[in-house]
A = this chain, B = another copy of it.
Amino acid sequence: MTITIESKLQVLKNGHVTSPKGYSAGGVHCGLRKKKLDFGWIHSENPATAAGVYTLNVFQAAPLKVTKESIEKEQLIQTLVVNSANANACTGEQGYLDALETQRKTAGKMGVAVDHVAVASTGVIGVPLPMEKVRAGIELMNDNSSSENFEQAILTTDTVTKHIAVQLEIDGQMITIGGAAKGSGMIHPNMATMLSFITTDAAVEATSLQQALREVTDQSFNMITVDGDCSTNDMVLVLANGKQKNNILNELHPEWQVFKQALQLVSKELAKMIARDGEGATKLIEVQVSGASSVTAAGQIAKAIISSNLVKTAVYGADPNWGRIVCAIGYSEQPLDPQKVCVSLGDIEVVKNGLPVDFDESEGELYLGNETVVLKIDLQNGSHEATAWGCDLTYDYVKINASYRT
């Protein structure tokens, strides 16, 4: 079934948020960072149906409040702007006013309704947003920029830009979904300094879009961790401008599952790009948990493993020390029978029914030397499964974070 659906999807070779029809994007340097681009935007030719999910951190940053309030009014966004280098978080009433001004000035510059502008920020917490620079950024918005510039402008400690687009046919129309994301540190289930923007030229009903985004996020952005810290600024926004004339998509449309699958693919790939680019990371770790008594149990166990500093350093050191994996399973506080647990490093079985398997250590070391490492856990305790992604913990993580602001 999954294969049938996925076979209808085509990943574009060099996909961006501007791959779907009717979108432009760009990025400029406005002085928030020393030299790098620091102010980016995505613009749709027409107001697009919008949905968003936001951090659960109680110190939610000002731009999230502004964006959330605006989307709640009409579920429409036409322009979104993002600044890096400053999170506009823990900045009180002034921070909120700054986010509102950013929204209002962008609306004026682009000639769109104020409530059709989304704002997002990422960077240092607790420093007032330097508004003269943000205003300069808004003034610099232009038609000659590119989605590559947008992807650059939203980065903080990321080492690479993150983007993708997929296509699928719905109602005889070739629908495209594109996405761009940033995130490298402070990444954890429930979204840490992680921004992700998804665009599509499909026509989608607002409530269905919101529901689909929430579901998809739970299996993608909420299943990655770099360091276990959830940020004040995370958000995922999806815009659907309906430039392709498909019958409006909702739960009743025969192709709804296919569309959701495409949205899922875009989200999952962006999430994996973020995990792989975790601060100091040299490897992507994928933890597949199967045979769980519930999806929640599978997810919690996968997250316990992917969050374990000891597992992360063992993978970094290519040490097939499965005891640390078993240990993390054991403290996940989920229902399981220790005597049924099986663990494999890729296809190398190392634990069967709770007991060590005699395996070739050097083969294990060789496998953990790969750039992508898959840890498979079968609990033999049910039929549910979940997958989580993360990265290894390295000297460079410590280096980056012991001196981030200096």
Instruction: List residues of A whose CB falls within 8 A of some B CB.
Output: 56-59, 87, 89-92, 124-127, 185-186, 188, 190, 227-232, 307-310, 313-314, 316-317, 319, 321-324, 326-331, 333, 336, 338, 351, 354-356, 393-395, 397-399, 401-406
Contacts and interface: CB of A to CB of B under 8 A. Distances in A.
B125 A309 contact: no
Contacts of A310: 185-186, 227, 229, 401
* Chain A interface, DSSP helix/strand/loop, else mixed: loop
A328 B405 contact: no
A354 B92 contact: yes
Contacts of A190: 331
A314 B403 CA distance: 7
A90 B59 contact: no
B90 A228 contact: no
Contacts of A227: 308-310
Given A228-B228, A229-B324, A57 B331 contact: yes
A89 B323 contact: yes
A398 B401 contact: no
Contacts of A329: 58-59
Contacts of A355: 90-92
Copies held by the complex: 2
Given A59-B326, A313-B398, A230 B90 contact: no
A404 B319 contact: yes
A310 B124 CA distance: 13
Contacts of A91: 355-356
B186 A327 contact: yes
A59 B353 CA distance: 12
B330 A57 contact: yes
A34 B148 CA distance: 56
Contact of A59 (B59, B229, B330, B403): B330
Nearest to A58: B330
29 contacts: A56-B333, A57-B327, A57-B330, A58-B329, A90-B323, A90-B326, A91-B355, A125-B323, A126-B351, A126-B356, A127-B356, A185-B310, A188-B331, A190-B331, A227-B309, A228-B228, A228-B309, A229-B309, A229-B324, A229-B327, A309-B401, A313-B401, A314-B402, A314-B404, A317-B402, A319-B406, A321-B404, A393-B398, A395-B398
A144 to B, nearest CB: 36
A329 B398 CA distance: 21
Contacts of A57: 327, 330-331
Contacts of A398: 313, 316, 393-395, 397-398
Given A185-B310, A229-B331, A310-B401, 5 more contacts: A89-B323, A90-B354, A229-B310, A232-B327, A319-B404
Q: Which of A124, A126, A316, A406 has the largest count of B CB atoms less than 10 A from its CB?
A: A126
A321 B186 CA distance: 13
Nearest to A311: B229
B402 A319 contact: yes
B351 A90 contact: yes
Contacts of A232: 326-327, 330
Contacts of A333: 56
Q: Which of A323, A326, A333, A356 has the largest count of B CB atoms less than 10 A from its CB?
A: A323
Nearest to A317: B402
